[in-house]
Structure 1
Amino acid sequence: MDIRKLQRIIVNALEDVKAKDIQVFNTTKQTALFDRVIIASANSNRQARALGHHVFCEVKENGGEAVAIEGLETGEWVLVDCGNVIVHILQPALRAYYNLEELWGAHPVKLKMLEKQSEDSEEK
């Protein structure tokens, strides 16, 4: 699956469950293990678990590779491995403490917010 399509599916899934402060980073120059890191915040353990599960299911439903999901037990930091994309869903305190943006944030990806709206209007 095209990396842009996969990242759009993931961001849409995060937005569906009201994730906060979604950021996407291009990591192709930093590691050969994956091409994107997506970081989002959840307001509660329950929301973090719901976000992780929803991302995992949406990627699978759309023909993507959803390899694994970790952290559902506590819901403080949920990691979803989607092959070429790694998704981190954290509680705000953990996100501030670990500051993953500093580690992966060298190359932020700008998302076209109108893409989802145009897709929705095409379906109607």
Structure 2
Amino acid sequence: MSNELIDIVIDALEGVKGKDIVTLDVSELTDVMDHIVVASGTSNRQVKALADNVVEEGKKAGFRPIGVEGMDTAEWVLVDYGDLVVHVMLPTTRQFYDLEKLWSVRPADLKASGHEE
């Protein structure tokens, strides 16, 4: 996974006026992926346009997603590039699932709080 794809994704989201774009390095938390990008769109139409632009700009640079999920309702669209997963969401959906908080909890935080499994 290169930083090139992250830059392409961020530019694609900014190009369609994505809101509150956040990049998270989750490489120490999971072996499934290294980075997550989360962004919001103001409507279902914009969420779909944001995800479409991410896919199109990625393809232009030679990156093809493994899969794209959620385009039918466009409340939460996931674009999976393997080591990078992009989540484009409506603000209410993003607030409800709070992926930034979920993926910021470190194993040491769980031990310190007594919630270790």
When normalised by structure 2's length, the TM-score is 0.86
After superposition, give the CA deviation of every residue in 1:88-120 in whole Å (9 maximum; x if it has no partner).
Answer: 01100111111001111359xxxxxxxxxxxxx
SS in 2 for 1:43: coil
Counterpart residue number, 2:102: 103
Write out aligned runs for 1:7-26 (5 A).
7-26=6-25
**CA separation in 2, counterparts of 1:10 and 1:105?**
21
**CA separation in 2, counterparts of 1:7 and 1:105?**
19
Q: Rg bigger for which structure?
A: 2
**CA separation in 1, counterparts of 2:105 and 2:16?**
27
Deviation at 1:40, TM superposition (A): 0.3
When normalised by structure 1's length, the TM-score is 0.81
Q: Which moved further from structure 2: 44-53 or 98-107? A: 98-107
Deviation at 1:86, TM superposition (A): 0.2
**CA separation in 1, counterparts of 2:9 and 2:105?**
21
Counterpart residue number, 2:79: 80
Aligned residues: 106
Runs of 4+ deviating beyond 3 Å: none
Gaps of 5+ in 2: 107-117
What letter is aligned with 1:41?
S
Q: Between the two proteins, what is the percent identity of the paired residues?
A: 41
After superposition, give the CA deviation of every residue in 1:29-81 in whole Å (9 maximum; x if it has no partner).
Answer: 01111110000000000000011111011111101231111111011000000
Gaps of 5+ in 1: 108-124
